[in-house]
Amino acid sequence: MCNGYVGADLAALCREAALASLRRGMQGSPSEGDVQHKVTMQDWEQAHLKVGPSIARGAVADVPSVLWDDIGGLTQVKRKLRQTVEWPIQHADALARLGLKPIRGVLLYGPPGCSKTTLVKAAAHAAKANLFSLSGAELHSMYVGEGEALLRETFRRARLVAPSIVFFDEADSVAARREGGNEQAAGGNSTGEKLLSTLLTEIDGLELAQGVLVLGATNRPWSIDGALMRPGRFDQILYVPPPDKEGRLEILKVHTRNMKVADDVDLSEIASITEYFTGAELAGLCSEAGMAALRENLYAESVHERHFSAALKSIKPSLTVTEISKYVNFGLTRNMR
């Protein structure tokens, strides 16, 4: 629970737990006074949410409390992520008992807007792991050598505060395929080749680390260097597809659960006519339907079918059959190797 904490961090944690106990005592009845002023495990857990290890400050993302149930559909992907992310951290003893080694990396690929980043956040939350997030744009925008230094420092901090996840958004820009397809030439002079070489070295070094996992997300898996797509690096490569009808219905339910929807709205019918919509586009559809209701009447109390119909006229799917086929064919090609 306190991995990576130094003395000052532990002092701050104790202080915050004591304050949590006092706040709880002030909310209770006078007869509960003796119990209220004892520091309970609940107080420690609340303090732990506020006081993290100083070594991680400035590097750990502020991860929202995203739950698996907040993501509609994608049942198979969520099941595999639970096994590859949650189990090695939450059930390490079970894996060790059967002689199973936790994997080092998982790559999520699929069209934009299909909840890849949200899945990573939900996995980190469920595993109670620190999340270090880096993007290709962030690493490439630095001066010469600073990107590699940030990579090394991020992995160092991740090891200190394990369990932790190092997440690469736009993984294709961090580990772009090398010119000529030469996977052995990891020591090139370009910024991209140096970043890739550093990343490969850090991932290979995770064999000696406990509780550190690398996750990546990309819209262009075919652009990632083959050296990273091997067992021992990205051990699992998971396709995150656009939602099917059942998935679209679940997504619509998620994004309308805080919205008062009129009886004339048939979410199942909307799910049927929104083929090729991504999760992000379905979320936008629900939001636009709510705005349509307010434009009609600023004091509207519910959203009707006509408002969803109006929203459907302005929001169209960005995906095409051709684009989806590229992702499907990529998966088929990998399975045949």
Query: With pLDDT > 70 as the criterion, what percentage of the chain qualifies?
Result: 84
| The pLDDT of residue 20 | 81
Per mean pLDDT, which of 40-49, 185-194, 272-281, 326-335 is the most reliable? 272-281
pLDDT band of residue 145 (cuts 50, 70, 90) is confident
Query: With pLDDT > 90 as the criterion, what percentage of the chain qualifies?
Result: 48
Measured distance CA(8)–CA(11) in Å, rounded: 5
The pLDDT tens digits for 202-238 are 988 887 667 899 999 999 999 999 999 888 899 999 9
Residues 118 and 233 in one domain: yes
For residue 216, what are the CA distances in angstroms to 139, 168, 234, 293?
A: 14, 5, 9, 39
- Examine the pLDDT at 181 and tell me if it is beyond 50: yes
- Residue range 162-187: mean pLDDT, rounded: 76
Task: Residue 72: name the closest of 238, 247, 240 by CA.
Answer: 247
Residues 284 and 232 in one domain: no
The pLDDT tens digits for 72-125 are 889 999 999 999 999 988 888 898 899 988 888 999 999 999 999 999 999 999
Q: What is the total count of domains within the chain?
A: 3
| The pLDDT of residue 142 | 63
Residues 35 and 127 in one domain: no
| The pLDDT of residue 84 | 92
Residues 138 and 26 in one domain: no
Q: Of 241, 263, 291, at which residue does a domain stop?
A: 241
Measured distance CA(81)–CA(108) in Å, rounded: 10
Strand partners, 134: 168
Measured distance CA(123)–CA(101) in Å, rounded: 19
Residues 18 and 109 in one domain: no
Where residue 135 sits, what CATH number does that domain have?
3.40.50.300
- The residue segments making up the domain with residue 39 are 7-52
Identify the three-state secondary structure at position 133.
Answer: strand
Amino acid sitting at position 106:
V
Residues with Cβ within 8 Å of 27's Cβ and at least 6 positions away in sequence, in order, are: none
Measured distance CA(80)–CA(86) in Å, rounded: 10
H or E element, residue 135? strand 130-135
Mean pLDDT for all residues in the chain: 85
Q: Whole-model pTM? A: 0.78
| The pLDDT of residue 144 | 72
| The pLDDT of residue 180 | 60
| The pLDDT of residue 186 | 46
| The pLDDT of residue 185 | 46
| The pLDDT of residue 121 | 93
Measured distance CA(196)–CA(189) in Å, rounded: 11
Residues 48 and 111 in one domain: no
Residues 235 and 262 in one domain: no
| The pLDDT of residue 280 | 94
Measured distance CA(327)–CA(20) in Å, rounded: 49
- Examine the pLDDT at 25 and tell me if it is beyond 80: no
- Residue range 278-306: mean pLDDT, rounded: 95
Amino acid sitting at position 249:
L
Measured distance CA(124)–CA(166) in Å, rounded: 10
